[in-house]
């Protein structure tokens, strides 16, 4: 798996703070897309049916590994904005224990970002599918 900074160096608070600097959603979308550029591309060998997240408008692949009691995730998508949304989600969950994953209030986080109101319904559903997949892996 390829390492990235989400969840270890880039935290949910960092993302909330960064997005609060922008006055409009066009600039916020650009920032989210830039976040996605920080996610390394997934090895094509792992872009398999088994790692595909169902319920997403775009193709999304998610891998997990466990080191000790901590979960680490690698994710990729064929859409730039979705890669950025993956970064937003991974900031909340990557490098966390199962208990931390279960206890993190993802809905409050999305509310702070005012995110779901600015995504299409299918994009919002896909975002929730990513979250459910990560939460299920920690169950």
Is residue 124 packed enough to be buried (19+ CB in 10 Å), middle (13-18) or exposed (0-12)? middle
Catalytic residue among 56, 79, 90, 130: 56
Who wins on pLDDT, 121 or 47? 47
Taking only the tens place, the pLDDT of each residue in 43-98 is 999 999 999 998 877 899 999 999 999 999 999 999 999 999 999 999 999 999 99
> Is-catalytic flag, 56?
yes
Q: What is d(CA 28, CA 49) in angstroms, rounded to the nearest whole number? A: 32
> Would you state the structure tokens that stand for residue 124, as one six-digit string?
């919002």
Is the pLDDT confidence value at 105 over 90? yes
Cβ burial of 74 (10 Å; 0-12, 13-18, 19+) is buried
Tell me the pTM: 0.93
CATH of domain 12-137: 3.90.1010.10
pLDDT at position 1 is 63
């Amino acid at each position: 798996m390829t390492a990235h900074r989400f969840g270890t160096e880039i935290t949910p608070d960092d993302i909330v703070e960064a997005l609060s600097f922008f006055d409009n959603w066009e600039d916020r979308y650009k920032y989210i897309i830039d976040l996605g550029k920080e996610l390394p591309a997934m090895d094509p060998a792992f872009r398999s049916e088994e790692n595909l997240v169902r319920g997403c408008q775009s193709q999304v692949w998610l891998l997990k590994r466990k080191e000790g009691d901590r979960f680490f995730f690698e994710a990729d998508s064929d859409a730039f904005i979705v890669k950025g949304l993956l970064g937003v989600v991974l900031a909340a969950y990557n490098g966390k224990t199962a208990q931390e994953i279960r206890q993190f209030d993802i809905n409050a986080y999305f509310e702070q970002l005012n995110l779901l109101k600015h995504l299409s319904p299918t994009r919002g559903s896909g975002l929730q599918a990513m979250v459910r997949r990560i939460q299920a892996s920690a169950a």
